[in-house]
Structures are given as structure tokens and as C-alpha cells.
Amino acid sequence: MTDLTLETALNRDQPTPGEPENWRRFFSFSTDHKVIGIQYIVVAFVFFLIGGFLAMVMRGELITPEADLVDRTVYNALFTMHGTIMLFMWTFPVLNGLANYLVPLQIGARDMAFPRLNAVAFWLVPIFGIILMASFLVPGGPSQSGWWAYPPVSLQNPTGNLINGQFLWILAVALSGISSIMGAVNMVTTIIRMRAPGMTFFKMPAFCWTVAAAQTIQLFGLPALTAGAVMLLFDLTVGTSFFTPETGGDPVLYQHFFWFYSHPAVYVIILPVFGVFSELFPVYARKPLFGYKFVVVSSFVITGLSAIVWVHHMYASGTPSWMRMLFMASTMLISVPTGVKIFAWVATIWGGKLKLSTPMLFALGGLVNFLFAGITGIMLASVPFDVHVNNTYFVVGHFHYVIYGAAVMGIYAAIYHWFPKMTGRMYYEGLGKLHFVLTFIGVNLNFLPMHPLGLMGMPRRVASYDPEFAFWNVLASLGGFLLGVSVLPFLLNMISSWILGEKAPANPWRAIGLEWLVASPPPHENFAEIPTVVAEPYGYGKNEPLIASQMTSTELV
Amino acid sequence: MSSVNLDQTLNTAAVAHATEHHDEGEHRMFGFIVFLLSESVIFLSFFAGYIVYKTTTPAWLPAGIDGLEVREPLINTIVLVSSSFVIYFAERFLHRENLWGFRAFWLLTMAMGSFFLYGQAVEWAGLPFGFTDGLFGGTFYLLTGFHGLHVLTGVLMQGIMLGRSFIPGNYDDGEVGVAATSLFWHFVDVIWIILFILIYVWQ
């Protein structure tokens, strides 16, 4: 296609008063939450491709026991950058994008509370992305200390330069933190203060609840990481002794700072995905969300518990045994609110009239993977088991089931589900189903073999391994390449559908929710008149109106 | 970081409808409080780190140092804490639409904040240990420096608000900027009291 078709294709919809009225608005400092939402999602996806490419190089290295494809130091840089990119530049931004796009529409607001702050928070993402990428170009290459940057490894500076890979890593993570705090302040203010008349908290869609719960974690967790990062930066650059054991510092304290945020950070990722599941299952099963109030409140129970589980990452860090016992118990408690959600979703689907279209398939696949990840999570919470498999591939397998198997699949589900709303076009169902099949098989082929590998004792973060581990590694690598391939139908689908897809009606899924009452894509101001909400969400089969001016919900299906 | 954030918050594009102005101001204040709560966790983390270091390090004070002088910092503390009352009176004057009274007390707050910064600079210059002298030096300069940065930010914010008080009709839509600056100032004060107890009283 030529640039001209792309331009006319994107130009057609979504007039944006006072903004450049064409595709250029996506490259502008737009303050429209819908533009910013799409900006977040697209930029994040670019980083997902980069991070995925790094992962495939690693899987290429691991397909044979010898370290033959890349140098060992390059391998260290690869896993460091892969982890950092996937967390700070893919999952956080893409979920921020979804929340940005959906929350104001779902709560009946015209925009976020602070539109300019919103744009600044977004534009920091490409900036710190470029800073992190620049570490490939500095002498010595990127940081090799892993995404958690434990001292004393992260304090070694073999090249002696001030601007080194680790320095750029800390800078990028700090900027990411500033961006996330701005986003969190904005999101929490928006959800608490900008809801449409009648939308009490218990009439608010579950996605907004989970976003609020996730952003609350950012607010109390990120500052702790920032504190640790500041001290690490001073150790690295001016030679203070906070974390250097040889001058009396305490490297374990860094681990506390780091995990106090970075364990809850996985709930920042998974909570909005729980919200997506809670939104999608009722739509595609044509039933109300089972136990709506328990589902939404359990999100905040997870937020609360998330602040008191971080030491389970440090069972092997010389932690006193009373602390291990305490954190083992608190970690296992997490399974209660997550279990509440899983049972509620299953009960929602149970006996429903299921429509197995692409978003539903991704949501179901994500649910299955999450259940598996939850079971291995309980295993890892237990001290004796964790000490045994600590730093092995079992841990890698567990969190990839969470982050790819559940979170990324949930993100895909959300992108497909709201694609007609965002672009005004329908996606191709066939390509979507192909994407699902490749992704689901790829996830399980890639990450399931990591569990036996971990139980056999294969350590993580190594470029070479004993030949006895070869069989499972070959399977995992094939799964990894399959995941790489799985992105192709998705990209093809998204690009071609946005340009050539069938026009989408306002409510193609017969879904109930404020975002489905406005045109696809929504007009600049979202709502001609701010609606008054009169019912709980998910009134499927109840035949009751959602907003005051509607007669019944049948009117909108 | 805070000043940048506040400025963006305050400069957020005005909405089209005049009736929503008041709401907008309340959103900003709410957002600013959320931000301050989050910011306080950085200080709490530093405090926690300080307590862990102080209670677990065998040789806490560097060789040849037997503690910190308390007299000068105490004067500084009194000045800074009193300025919280002064800024409160400034706000009261603004409520009564006495602009000159507001400006006078506001300027006095700025002077007291600047005195604190000056006092801290003098103290730093006279200390026999540096940032890289062990955990004691590291945590001392980290905590006082990070707090000092907040005092400086507060004084700069106050300067902006003082300048804005000369714009005609500046307070027609409320006094969010002044209220937020004042809240920030109280925040900086409370942090200092905790910091003073941790560093100077608990030796």
C-alpha cells in the first residue's frame, strides 16, 4: 500500500478539533486520551517486537548446549535487556494505553483528569526507550546484571566510563518510574473524581476497578524502587557505599527496595488483565459477571496483600527464618483473592451461550494459562520448594506463564475486543483465530518444558548447559520461534483491518457498557451528553436499562 | 521532579466550560495530594534504609567523628517549622482578599525557607566528612540533600505563586496553586521533623 491509502484510511474518522486532523495526530503532542491510548499501545508493541527478537536470539543460543551463537557477555546483555524491555516498555505502557483509552469511556468522562500530564507521561516512554536502546552503543554494551540489577554485580564498571550500560539502565528505569507515577496520579484522580452521575463504585466496570487497584500499587511501590535506584546510581557513579559490602554497605537492602516494588509490579501487570477477563467473559457468555462485587473488591485485596509478599523473592538471600515463614504465609494468601476471581469467571462461563470468537479464545486461553501459573506460584511460595528450585528454569517457566500465558494473551484479547471501538473497523476473524492457535501452542511449547528443566536443576541465565538438558531446551526453543511467528498474523490483521476492514457498528458484540453507546470510533468529546448510569454493569439477560435515557438494554443490542 | 509535576498539573489545559473550572481545580488538588502521598514513600524508604543501616552497621560513625552538632540545625529546624505557621497566615490573608498581607507573609515564608537552605549549606561546608565516607556520610547527605531539594522546590514554587499574585484576576477560579504550594510546604516540614529526630536526636 502507498502512504496515500494509509493516510486516507486513518484520516477518515475521529475528527479531533484543534489537532492536526489526520494520521499525524498520532505523532503529535495530542491531549486526547484516545489518541494517547493508541500511541501507548503502538509504541509498546514496537518494543514488544524488539524484546521478543532478543528472546529469540536467546532461544537460538539455547537450542544447543554449547555457547556458540553469541558471546556469554552478549547473552547476559540479552536477558537483561529482554526483561527490562518487556516489563518497562511493553507490559506497563500497553496496559497504560488500554486504560487510557477505555477508562474515560467506561466511566462516562470526556477525557482524563489531567490531559497534558497524560501526554507528558506518554512521551517519556519513547524517550526512555531510546535511552535504554542507546546502551547497545556505549562501550561495554548494555547492562549485564539482569532486570533486577542486584549489587554488587550491577556496581561493576569494567570500562570505567561514567556513561555505561548500567548507568543508562538506571536512568531509563527512573524515567519510566516518573512516567508511571504521572500516569498513576492521573488515572486514580480520573477514576475517583470523574465518574458519570449515577456511577457509584459498585456500578463501575471491573476493568476500571482493576486499573485503580493496579495504579495504587504504582503509587506506593514505585517510590521504593526509585529510592533504591537513586542509591544504586550514587554507588555506581560517585562511589558511595550503600550497597557495596567491602565498604560496609548492605546489598540485601537493595533487594528489599527492589522487590518491594517489583513483586507488586507483576500485579500492576496482571490486575488490568483480570479486568479484561471480567469484561470479556460476560460479553461472550451472555451472562452477568458472577459475584461482581467480590470480583472487584478482590482486586484491592490483592493490592493490599501485594505490599507484604516481596521477601518470597529473597528466601535464598540469607533471610531469617521467621521472615521466611511470615512471607510464605502472606504469599499463599494471595491465592485467595485470585481464586475468588477464577471461580467467578468459571461460574460466569458455566452454562453460558459461548461465542468462541478471537477475544473469547484469547481470554479462555489466558485463564487456563493463569490457572497453571497460579499452581506453580503456590509451589514457589513454599520455602522448602523454592529454596530447591531457586534460580532455576522452574521460576522462569512460572513467571512466563503469568506474563506471556496470562497477561499477553489477555492483552491480545483486549486489543481484539476493543479494536472495532478504537479504529471503527472490524478485524478478520480467521487471522485472529490463527493468531490464537499459534500463540497458545507457542506459549505452552516454550514455557512448559522449563518446568521439568528447573526440577532437573538447570540454572537460569546461562548461555551453555549440560547436554542432559538438551531435549527440553530444543522444545522450548521451537516454542519460542513459534511465538515469533505468531506475531505475523496479528500484525497483518491489525494493519490490513485498520485500512481495509469492514466498517464497525457502535456495538458489534452486543456488549453492555458506556463505551459501546457511542460511535466507533468515539467522537473527540466522547459523549454528546454525559449519561446518567442507573444499573450495575454486565446486565446480560436482565433486560434492564444501563443509563437513564434508555428504555431497556435490548435497545442497545 | 516535584516542581515539574506540579507545574504540569497547574498548567493543565483549561476546559471549555466555565462551570467545570471549579471541578478542575478540585481535581488538581486531589491529584496533588495523591502525588504527595506517593512522594512520601520515597522518604519512608530512605528512612527505613537509614534505620536498618544505623542499627546493623558495626562502625557507624567514621573514624575521628563523635557525632553531629545539634545547635545550628536546631535553629534551622525552628525557623522551618515556624514558617509553616507563617504560610498559614499568608493563606488566611488571601482568603480575606488582602493581597498585600498575603504577599508579605508569603515573602516571609520564602525568606525563612531560604534561611534554612543557607543554614544547611553552612553546616555542610563545615562538616569533616563527605558523601562517600561510609554509610554514615552517605545516608546523612542523601537524606538532608534530598530533603533540601524539596525545600528548594518549595521556595521556587512560592516564587512562582508570588509572581502570579500580580496577574489581575488570578484567583477568580480559586487558589489551587497557593493551596498546593502551602500543602507541599507543610509536607516538607513534617518530613524534616522526622528527619531531624532520626539524624540529630537519635545519635
Q: Terminal CA-to-CA distance of chain A, rounded, Å?
A: 36
**Across-strand partners of A459?**
A392
3-state secondary structure of A490: helix
Q: How many residues does chain A have?
A: 557
* pLDDT of residue A22 exceeding 80: no
Pairwise CA distance, residues A286 & A288, whole Å = 7
Label residue B10 by pLDDT band (50, 70, 90): very low
Alpha helices in A194-291 (DSSP H): 206-237, 251-285
A57-81 average pLDDT score: 95
Residue B178 to residues A182, A288, B94, B184, B186: CA-CA distances in angstroms? Answer: 21, 47, 9, 10, 12
Pairwise CA distance, residues A227 & A237, whole Å = 16
Contacts of B58 in chain A (CB under 8 A): 248
* pLDDT of residue A396 exceeding 90: yes
Pairwise CA distance, residues A429 & A416, whole Å = 10
Tell me whether residues B31 and A222 touch, CB distance under 8 A: no
Pairwise CA distance, residues A149 & A254, whole Å = 9
**pLDDT, mean over chain A:** 92
Q: How many residues does chain B have?
A: 203
Can you give the C-alpha Rg of chain B in angstroms?
Answer: 19
Q: What is the pLDDT of residue B169?
A: 86
A302-321 average pLDDT score: 94
Q: What is the pLDDT of residue A467?
A: 95
* Cell numbers linked to A322: 521467621
- The residue behind cell 490573608 is B93
CB A14 within 8 A of CB A23: no
A224-229 average pLDDT score: 94
Tell me whether residues A186 and B31 touch, CB distance under 8 A: yes
* pLDDT of residue B6 exceeding 90: no
Nearest CB among B5, B31, B138 relative to A189 is that of B31
Tell me whether residues B12 and A116 touch, CB distance under 8 A: yes
* Cell numbers linked to A109: 468522562
Tell me whether residues A240 and B132 touch, CB distance under 8 A: yes
Q: What is the pLDDT of residue A138?
A: 93
Q: What is the pLDDT of residue A300?
A: 97
Read off φ and ψ for residue A392, nearest 5 degrees: -110, 180
Name the residue of chain B whose CA is nearest to A258's CA.
Answer: B45
Tell me whether residues A181 and B53 touch, CB distance under 8 A: no
* pLDDT of residue A78 exceeding 80: yes
Mutation to test the A interface, candidates B7, B12, B19, B136, most A Cβ within 10 Å: B12
Mutation to test the B interface, candidates A29, A240, A529, most B Cβ within 10 Å: A240
Tell me whether residues A117 and B13 touch, CB distance under 8 A: no
pLDDT digits (tens, 9 = 90+) for A109-121: 999 999 999 999 9
Q: Residue A110: what residue type?
A: R
Contacts of A115 in chain B (CB under 8 A): 12-13
Please state the ipTM of this predicted complex: 0.90
Number of CB atoms found within 10 A of residue A269's CB = 25
∠ CA A300-A305-A309, rounded to 5°: 150
Tell me whether residues A253 and B1 touch, CB distance under 8 A: no
Q: What is the DSSP letter of A392?
A: B
Dihedral sign computed on CA atoms, order A124, A128, A129, A134: positive
Q: What is the pLDDT of residue A28?
A: 83
Label residue A27 by pLDDT band (50, 70, 90): confident
Tell me whether residues A182 and B8 touch, CB distance under 8 A: yes
* pLDDT of residue B21 exceeding 60: no
pLDDT digits (tens, 9 = 90+) for B93-103: 999 989 999 99
* pLDDT of residue B34 exceeding 50: yes
Contacts of A250 in chain B (CB under 8 A): 52-53, 56
Label residue A21 by pLDDT band (50, 70, 90): low
**Across-strand partners of A165?**
A142
Alpha helices in A114-205 (DSSP H): 115-134, 165-193
Can you give the C-alpha Rg of chain A in angstroms?
Answer: 23
* pLDDT of residue A18 exceeding 80: no
Q: What is the pLDDT of residue A160?
A: 84
* pLDDT of residue A552 exceeding 80: no
Pairwise CA distance, residues A308 & A329, whole Å = 10
∠ CA A273-A279-A284, rounded to 5°: 120
pLDDT digits (tens, 9 = 90+) for A170-223: 999 999 999 999 999 999 999 999 999 999 999 999 999 999 999 999 999 999
Stated as kind and residue range, the H or E segment containing B113 is helix B99-126
CATH topology of domain B39-201: Four Helix Bundle (Hemerythrin (Met), subunit A) (1.20.120)
* pLDDT of residue A428 exceeding 80: yes
Label residue B26 by pLDDT band (50, 70, 90): confident
pLDDT digits (tens, 9 = 90+) for A328-383: 999 999 999 999 999 999 999 999 999 999 999 999 999 999 999 999 999 999 99
Q: Is A257 on the interface with B (CB under 8 A)?
A: yes
Nearest CB among B23, B49, B131 relative to A238 is that of B131
Tell me whether residues B45 and A257 touch, CB distance under 8 A: yes
Q: What is the pLDDT of residue A524?
A: 86
Cis, bond preceding A521 (omega within 30 deg of 0): yes
Label residue B22 by pLDDT band (50, 70, 90): low
Which one is predicted more confidently, A291 or B6?
A: A291
Mutation to test the B interface, candidates A32, A117, A259, most B Cβ within 10 Å: A117
CB A500 within 8 A of CB A5: no
Nearest CB among A117, A248, A260 relative to B12 is that of A117
Sequence-separated (6 or more) residues with CB below 8 Å from residue A137: none
pTM score of the predicted model: 0.92
Residue A363 to residues A358, A418, B160: CA-CA distances in angstroms? Answer: 9, 13, 51
- The residue behind cell 503509587 is A219
∠ CA A366-A310-B150, rounded to 5°: 110
pLDDT digits (tens, 9 = 90+) for B49-102: 999 999 998 888 888 888 899 999 999 999 999 999 999 999 999 999 899 999
Indicate the burial class of A529 (C-beta count within 10 angstroms; 0-12, 13-18, 19 or more). Answer: exposed
Highest mean pLDDT among A2-16, A19-33, B175-189: B175-189
* pLDDT of residue A6 exceeding 90: no
Q: Is A182 on the interface with B (CB under 8 A)?
A: yes
A61-90 average pLDDT score: 95
Q: Is A31 on the interface with B (CB under 8 A)?
A: yes
Sequence-separated (6 or more) residues with CB below 8 Å from residue B55: none
Label residue A13 by pLDDT band (50, 70, 90): very low
Percent of chain B beyond pLDDT 70? 89
Q: What is the pLDDT of residue A159?
A: 85
Half-sphere exposure of A328 (CA within 13 A, CB side): 17
